[in-house]
Chain A
Amino acid sequence: MDLENTKAQMRKGILEYCILSVLSRNSCYASDIIKELKEARVIVVEGTLYPILTRQKNAGLLSYRWEESQQGPPRKYYELTESGKTYLDDLNNSWQELVDSVNLIRTR
Chain B
Amino acid sequence: MDKTININISGILFQIDEEAYGILRGYLQSINNRFRNVPGGVETVGDIESRIAEIFESQKGTAGTISVSNVEAMVAIIGKPEDFDNNDTEPEPQEYTSEKKRMYRNPDDNIISGVCGGIGAYLNTDPVLFRILFVIFTVSFGVGLFLYLALWIALPSANTDSRKREMYGKSYSSAVSNKRNADGSYNADVPSYNKGYYNTSRIGNALNEIFRALGRVFYIVLRILLILLGATFVLIGSLLILSFVMLLVFKYPASISSSSFDMNLIYLSDFLKFVVNPLLVPWIIALALVILVMPLAALIYWGVKMIFWFRAKDGIFSLVAFVLWIMLIAILAVILFNEGISFAETARTSAQKIFTTVPDTLYIRAGNRVSDLKFEKELNFREEGYNIMINDERKELYIRPYLKVYNSESAAASLELRKRSSGRNEIDAMKKTEDLTYNYSIIGDTLILDEYFAIPSGRKWSADNVGINIYLPVGSVIKLDKASLRLLHAYISEEYYEAGDAEGTESCTNTWILTNDGLEPANGSELKHR
- Asked if A51 and B79 sit within 8 Å, CB to CB, the answer is no
- Asked if B77 and A45 sit within 8 Å, CB to CB, the answer is yes
- Asked if A54 and B84 sit within 8 Å, CB to CB, the answer is no
- Specify the chain A residue showing the minimal Cβ separation from B95: A58
Q: Tell me, rounded to whole Å, the shortest Cβ–Cβ distance linking B266 to chain A.
A: 81
Q: Which of A12, A31, A48, A57 contacts B51 (CB 8 A)?
A: A31
Q: Mark A52-77, 1 if CB is under 8 A from B, else 0.
A: 11110111000000000101111110
A-B contact count (CB 8 A): 86
A59 proximity list for chain B (CB < 8 A): 92, 94
Bound CA–CA A54/B47 (angstroms): 9
B78 on the interface (CB 8 Å rule)? yes
- Specify the chain A residue showing the minimal Cβ separation from B10: A73
- Asked if A44 and B50 sit within 8 Å, CB to CB, the answer is no
B78 proximity list for chain A (CB < 8 A): 45-47
> Count of chain A residues with Cβ under 8 Å from any Cβ of B?
27
- Asked if B12 and A50 sit within 8 Å, CB to CB, the answer is no
Bound CA–CA A46/B31 (angstroms): 13
B257 on the interface (CB 8 Å rule)? no
- Specify the chain A residue showing the minimal Cβ separation from B83: A45
Which has the most chain A C-beta neighbours within 10 Å: B31, B58, B84, B88? B84
B81 on the interface (CB 8 Å rule)? yes
Which has the most chain A C-beta neighbours within 10 Å: B10, B43, B47, B48? B47
Interface of B is mostly: helix
- Asked if A50 and B79 sit within 8 Å, CB to CB, the answer is no
- Asked if A51 and B92 sit within 8 Å, CB to CB, the answer is no
Q: Which of B12, B51, B58, B85 contacts A8 (CB 8 A)?
A: B85
A52 proximity list for chain B (CB < 8 A): 88
The segment from B32-40, B331-339, B438-446 found at the interface with A is B32-40
- Asked if A46 and B11 sit within 8 Å, CB to CB, the answer is no
B57 on the interface (CB 8 Å rule)? yes
Bound CA–CA A46/B10 (angstroms): 17
- Asked if B57 and A45 sit within 8 Å, CB to CB, the answer is no
Q: Tell me, rounded to whole Å, the shortest Cβ–Cβ distance linking B331 to chain A.
A: 65
Q: Which of A15, A55, A76 contacts B40 (CB 8 A)?
A: A55
Bound CA–CA A51/B10 (angstroms): 18
- Asked if A51 and B54 sit within 8 Å, CB to CB, the answer is no
Given contacts A46-B78, A47-B78, A73-B11, contact A53 B57 (CB under 8 A): no
- Asked if A46 and B79 sit within 8 Å, CB to CB, the answer is yes
Pairs A–B under 8 Å by Cβ, sample size 27: A30-B47, A45-B76, A45-B77, A45-B80, A46-B77, A47-B80, A47-B81, A48-B83, A51-B35, A51-B38, A51-B40, A51-B41, A51-B84, A54-B40, A54-B41, A55-B39, A55-B88, A55-B92, A58-B40, A59-B92, A71-B54, A71-B58, A72-B10, A72-B54, A73-B11, A73-B50, A75-B50
Q: Which are the 6 A-B pairs with shortest beta-carbon distances?
A: A45-B79, A72-B54, A54-B40, A73-B10, A72-B57, A47-B79
